[in-house]
A and B are shown apart, each in its own frame.
Chain A
Amino acid sequence: MKKLVVVGNGMAGVACVEQILKYRHDFDITIFGDETHVNYNRILLSSVLAGEKSADDIVLNDIDWYRTNGITPRFGVRITDVDSQQQTLTGSDGSVTSFDRLILATGSRALVPPIPGVDKKNVFVFRTLDDTRELLERSRPGCKAVVIGGGLLGLEAARGLQVQGCDVTVVHLANTLMERQLDSTGGMYLARKMENLGVRVLLGRQTQALLGNGRVEGLQFVSGESLDADLVVIAAGIRPNVDLGRSAGLEVGRGIVVNDHMETSHPNIFAVGECTEHRGQLFGLVAPLLEQGKVLAATITGNRGPVFSGSTPATKLKIMGVDVFSAGSTSEAEPGVEAIRYEDPSLGVYKRLLLKDNRLHGIILVGDASDDRRYSDWLKNSTDLAPHRRHLLFPPPAADAGLDVAQMPDGETVCGCLGVTKGEIIDAVHQYGICTLGQLKDRTRASTGCGSCTKLCGELLKAVAPDFEDEKQKVLCQCVPFPQEKLRDIVRSQKLKSVQEVLDIYGNGRGCEVCKPALSYIVDMVWCGDHDEDRSARFINDRVHANIQKDGTFSVVPRMRGGVTTPAELRKIADVADKYNVPMVKVTGSQRIDLLGVKKEDLPAIWSELGMPSGQAYAKGVRMVKTCVGSQFCRFGTQDSITAGVELETRLENLYTPHKFKAAVVGCPRNCAEATVKDVGLVGQDGSWQVVVGGAAGKGVRKADLLVTVETTELALEAAELFFQYYRENANYLERTYDFVERTGIEKVRRDTVYALPDVKQALLSRLRKSKDKSYDAWLERLAPRPTQFVEIKPMEAMTV
């Protein structure tokens, strides 16, 4: 067996080893890494800093991978010397290792410019997992952090620190952020986005010295200005680690020089990754490094043939809500290059394409990078863009979209794997009212095989279905154009606690009646009630805790748990109705009593005199638990539905949900309280309960699905609670349980709730408890109302006519 030693346990080195393992080889492989970690995804360190991912989430090869592939890992050992004559390596631990073949994958290190004071305490670079951990440890709310360098890494570090609560400034030498990837306009749009996120940007500043006595306290700029800092991150670029190449006597330029086969100037030594220089070019992005690894794997296993021919640089900024994509050339000044631009200052969108000979030459996208794939394809394939010139910056107009599919005969097969024809798809669309790709897959199985016809299916659907909905386009609204799932993520990972913060950072700053109530729900749910409540973002019902009627008056429905009341309560209700001249008193379908036609100003007094809690009849929240008489009185009752129903209502009341939430508990399968058409129903039978979910008796009627059958009342209540919290966390705002259950599938709902692992269930329940602890009877706001919450303003002076 030949000894193959890889120096460098980073992405490029390990990816190359993965490729080598795919070939028949006779290597005994050792990997040295000076970090003590297994191979992780360095590109995602910024996501770790921003709290979106944990250190474990970014592991690429765990220790089992090394073991099962017979690779000897030597972590925490730095190779200090290569003897290319003897073919040995010396380690920082004094060990000497011989090799038959050597791969140098030493990567690069952070460039620290020679500024006086960079050795002070609390000055960091951002390169490794350890750096990231250290930054996480030092960053605190209110901490003044300065990032030197407004490139990709610097901006990502800045955002991460800001999410950790730091007050962040980015200091950049050039006058344009990411000037190697963007033009000045693109840089300006990006700077504005960063400022909107709350990151301060200082351009054209050269740092002269870091100030402070031992610990960094500030920066001094050449211009004479200065800036306070508790923490400084230097992100001024990277330099290839070439020392070992030099000590081995290899040809070294800015990097270790390799040819198209990834061979160095020594026949048994190879190099891959950021430490290499190929045709005069250095590399810092992941795609070309993986490509290099593939080529080197072929070369080193005796399959020399594939060549690495360089790459077109492409960069994507990984900051949620700040789309930046750049690829290819950025220089407009080259002869024969023409620029095509689009910009919308209020949306913060800027796009510029460079064309040369009708082929794409460079791409800059800021604020909307959704088309990056299409452009990358054009760039990579040198596509002739003459036929696309009219809509380079926009998707083709809708009128053209159906053209391709219109030319197909009905009998032509669309999905070869499942054998579905165009005609069959059209029939299905008409017969079942299909309007999403998901529904099409469910009905016809088209595109569920290899998936290569997915695009065609989408186009066909778009052309045929009257109510076509592009699934990925389902954004909450134009004010904050993200799907709700993404918004829940954003709120969670970016630690946003108020509606206005979300709108300011990720939206247009204004909001509307669609997104504001939805965001209000999301921040409340994500933070389990520990959010910053903004009443201006709530619908009027949720500001005054009553349901607005067509004449501007309100209705009042007190809570009557399980539909059980007392003579005393009924007397109070009657007295209030008399005293306030309530125009109508009505028994509702929810086993409660509605007082209709109440004036806003009278609400607090009425609640007070009723002395009953809010029934939330105005809210997207827990309405009621309807019950039948059950075993307490009914001759046929098998379970005590009233006690169980009152308990369920008590556990869930005062909480908010994506849409209204109605439940029922019945004591026998006769189902007198209609539990099978409720969001949650408990159906008692002899010795057990059936818990059913997703029922409807509204615009449509839907029989609820069976979630689980359990033997005790406590387990039935727990199953209901699990489903309730799962719905709260995963449904979109204004999505009723019956749509949610259909979209998710009852099997998945069961797997994620009643059949979930114990700790998953516990987590759901504990978040529910946390929300419940923070919740309160909204009608108690009468005791300490917000300014003018319920009143009509009386003018301070009368107008003289």
Chain B
Amino acid sequence: MSWIRIAPTVDIPVREGRSVRIGTESVAIFNTGNGFLALENRCPHGGGPLADGIVGGSTVTCPLHNWRICLKSGQVERPCETESPGVRTFRTRVEDGIVMLSTDDLRAAPQAA
């Protein structure tokens, strides 16, 4: 698997998220305190910036209408009766204090129009 280097870990404070643009894709990277998790930065509900949400454990709540997304699976946890698809997730890795994203996962992206 190949990786690209994104940013020093200190650039993403504990229990916060930051957005990063890679090509046309906006990715939200979160520091849960137990590691880094990355998602498509686009709430499946209204397109809200998930990177700006409040992190609780391993979920994030979208700042626009409080949809809650699991950071590990990308699935919508609330509202639970929704049939909305989740968001894409990207594998992360930390090496020498740098957060990296899986290029395979990024390439697998059906590039947003």
Which residue numbers of A lie inside 8 Å of B, CB to CB? 479, 508-513, 516-517, 534-540, 543, 548, 550-552, 786-788, 792-799, 801
- B15 near A787 with CB under 8 A, answer no
- A535 near B48 with CB under 8 A, answer no
Query: How far is A512 from B57 in the complex, measured between Cα atoms in Å?
Result: 8
Chain B, range 1-57, C-beta contacts under 8 Å to A? 4-7, 10-16, 18-23, 29, 46-49, 52-57
- B52 near A548 with CB under 8 A, answer yes
At the interface, is chain A mostly helix, strand, loop or mixed?
loop
Minimum C-beta distance from B60 to chain A (A) = 9
Q: Which residues of B contact A517 (CB under 8 A)?
A: 54
User: If the complex has contacts A511-B56, A552-B48, A797-B4, are A792 and B21 also in contact, measured as CB distance less than 8 A?
Assistant: yes
- A801 near B23 with CB under 8 A, answer yes
Known: A517-B54, A795-B7. 16 other contacts (CB 8 A): A512-B61, A513-B56, A536-B14, A536-B15, A536-B16, A537-B54, A539-B54, A540-B54, A551-B47, A787-B13, A788-B11, A795-B4, A795-B6, A795-B22, A799-B103, A801-B107
Interface size of B by CB at 8 A reads 38
Minimum C-beta distance from A544 to chain B (A) = 8
Query: How far is A510 from B18 in the complex, measured between Cα atoms in Å?
Result: 19
- B16 near A535 with CB under 8 A, answer yes
- A793 near B6 with CB under 8 A, answer yes
- B103 near A786 with CB under 8 A, answer no
5 smallest A-B Cβ distances: which pairs? A536-B15, A510-B57, A513-B61, A512-B56, A540-B52
Residue of A nearest to B8 (CB): A796
Select one of B10, B29, B98 contacting A796, CB under 8 A.
Answer: B98
Query: How far is A794 from B10 in the complex, measured between Cα atoms in Å?
Result: 14
Q: Does B106 belong to the interface (CB within 8 Å)?
A: yes
Minimum C-beta distance from A725 to chain B (A) = 28
Which residue of B15, B19, B54 has the most chain A CB atoms within 10 A of its CB atom? B54
Q: Which residues of B contact A539 (CB under 8 A)?
A: 54, 63
Q: Does B66 belong to the interface (CB within 8 Å)?
A: yes
Q: Which residues of A contact B14 (CB under 8 A)?
A: 536
Which residue of A479, A510, A511, A516 has the most chain B CB atoms within 10 A of its CB atom? A510
Residue of A nearest to B49 (CB): A552
Q: Which residues of B contact A538 (CB under 8 A)?
A: 54
Q: Which residues of B contact A512 (CB under 8 A)?
A: 54, 56, 59, 61, 68
- A788 near B54 with CB under 8 A, answer no
- A513 near B20 with CB under 8 A, answer no
- A792 near B19 with CB under 8 A, answer yes
Query: How far is A302 from B22 in the complex, measured between Cα atoms in Å?
Result: 92
- A795 near B5 with CB under 8 A, answer yes
- B63 near A788 with CB under 8 A, answer no
Q: Which residues of A contact B12 (CB under 8 A)?
A: 788, 793
Minimum C-beta distance from A566 to chain B (A) = 34
Residue of B nearest to A554 (CB): B52
Minimum C-beta distance from B12 to chain A (A) = 7
Select one of B63, B103, B107 contacting A548, CB under 8 A.
Answer: B63
Q: Which residues of A contact B59 (CB under 8 A)?
A: 512
Minimum C-beta distance from A322 to chain B (A) = 22
Q: Which residues of A contact B98 (CB under 8 A)?
A: 796
Q: Which residues of A contact B13 (CB under 8 A)?
A: 535-536, 786-788
Residue of A nearest to B11 (CB): A788
User: If the complex has contacts A513-B56, A540-B52, are A788 and B18 also in contact, measured as CB distance less than 8 A?
Assistant: yes
- A513 near B54 with CB under 8 A, answer yes
Q: Which residues of A contact B22 (CB under 8 A)?
A: 795, 799
Q: Which residues of B contact A534 (CB under 8 A)?
A: 15
- B54 near A796 with CB under 8 A, answer no
Residue of B nearest to A788 (CB): B11
Q: List 7 A-B contacts (CB under 8 A).
A: A512-B56, A535-B13, A540-B63, A552-B48, A787-B13, A788-B11, A793-B20
Select one of B4, B29, B55, B66 contacting A799, CB under 8 A.
Answer: B4
Q: Which residues of A contact B53 (CB under 8 A)?
A: 513, 540
Q: Which residues of A contact B56 (CB under 8 A)?
A: 479, 510-513, 516
Query: How far is A540 from B54 in the complex, measured between Cα atoms in Å?
Result: 8
- B4 near A787 with CB under 8 A, answer no
- A796 near B66 with CB under 8 A, answer no
Residue of B nearest to A789 (CB): B13
- A550 near B46 with CB under 8 A, answer yes
Query: How far is A793 from B19 in the complex, measured between Cα atoms in Å?
Result: 6
Chain B, range 44-103, C-beta contacts under 8 Å to A? 46-49, 52-57, 59, 61, 63-64, 66, 68, 98, 103
Minimum C-beta distance from A503 to chain B (A) = 9
Minimum C-beta distance from A786 to chain B (A) = 7
Residue of A nearest to B56 (CB): A512
Minimum C-beta distance from A543 to chain B (A) = 8
Q: Which residues of A contact B66 (CB under 8 A)?
A: 513
Q: Which residues of A contact B5 (CB under 8 A)?
A: 795-797
Query: How far is A786 from B4 in the complex, measured between Cα atoms in Å?
Result: 25
Q: Which residues of B contact A536 (CB under 8 A)?
A: 13-16, 54-55
- A792 near B20 with CB under 8 A, answer yes
Residue of B nearest to A499 (CB): B15
Which residue of B5, B13, B48, B61 has the most chain A CB atoms within 10 A of its CB atom? B13
Query: How far is A550 from B68 in the complex, measured between Cα atoms in Å?
Result: 17
Q: Which residues of A contact B103 (CB under 8 A)?
A: 799
Q: Which residues of B contact A551 (CB under 8 A)?
A: 47
Query: How far is A588 from B26 in the complex, measured between Cα atoms in Å?
Result: 32
Minimum C-beta distance from A326 to chain B (A) = 32
Query: How far is A798 from B107 in the complex, measured between Cα atoms in Å?
Result: 13
Query: How far is A792 from B51 in the complex, measured between Cα atoms in Å?
Result: 10
Q: Which residues of B contact A795 (CB under 8 A)?
A: 4-7, 20-22
Residue of A nearest to B7 (CB): A793
Minimum C-beta distance from B5 to chain A (A) = 4
User: If the complex has contacts A513-B66, A787-B13, are A799 and B23 also in contact, measured as CB distance less than 8 A?
Assistant: yes
Q: Which residues of A contact B52 (CB under 8 A)?
A: 540, 543, 548, 552
Residue of B nearest to A549 (CB): B64
Minimum C-beta distance from A479 to chain B (A) = 7
User: If the complex has contacts A516-B54, A548-B52, are A796 and B7 also in contact, measured as CB distance less than 8 A?
Assistant: yes
Q: Which residues of B contact A513 (CB under 8 A)?
A: 53-54, 56, 61, 66, 68
Q: Which residues of A contact B7 (CB under 8 A)?
A: 793, 795-796
Q: Which residues of B contact A508 (CB under 8 A)?
A: 57
Q: Which residues of B contact A479 (CB under 8 A)?
A: 56
Query: How far is A788 from B9 in the complex, measured between Cα atoms in Å?
Result: 11
Q: Which residues of A contact B57 (CB under 8 A)?
A: 508-511
Query: How far is A459 from B41 in the complex, measured between Cα atoms in Å?
Result: 47
Minimum C-beta distance from B31 to chain A (A) = 9
Minimum C-beta distance from B78 to chain A (A) = 10
Residue of A nearest to B5 (CB): A796
Minimum C-beta distance from A515 to chain B (A) = 8
Q: Which residues of A contact B61 (CB under 8 A)?
A: 512-513
Q: Which residues of B contact A797 (CB under 8 A)?
A: 4-5
Q: Which residues of B contact A548 (CB under 8 A)?
A: 49, 52, 63-64
Q: Which residues of A contact B4 (CB under 8 A)?
A: 795-799
Query: How far is A550 from B20 in the complex, measured between Cα atoms in Å?
Result: 20
Q: Which residues of B contact A552 (CB under 8 A)?
A: 47-49, 52
Query: How far is A171 from B62 in the complex, measured between Cα atoms in Å?
Result: 46
Query: How far is A509 from B48 in the complex, measured between Cα atoms in Å?
Result: 26
Q: Which residues of B contact A787 (CB under 8 A)?
A: 10-11, 13
- A793 near B106 with CB under 8 A, answer no
Query: How far is A535 from B56 in the complex, measured between Cα atoms in Å?
Result: 13
Query: How far is A551 from B54 in the complex, measured between Cα atoms in Å?
Result: 18
Minimum C-beta distance from A716 to chain B (A) = 38
Q: Which residues of B contact A793 (CB under 8 A)?
A: 6-7, 11-12, 18-20, 29
Query: How far is A788 from B10 in the complex, measured between Cα atoms in Å?
Result: 9
Query: How far is A539 from B7 in the complex, measured between Cα atoms in Å?
Result: 24
Residue of A nearest to B16 (CB): A536
Q: Which residues of A contact B64 (CB under 8 A)?
A: 548, 550
Query: How far is A512 from B77 in the complex, measured between Cα atoms in Å?
Result: 13
Query: How far is A539 from B54 in the complex, measured between Cα atoms in Å?
Result: 6
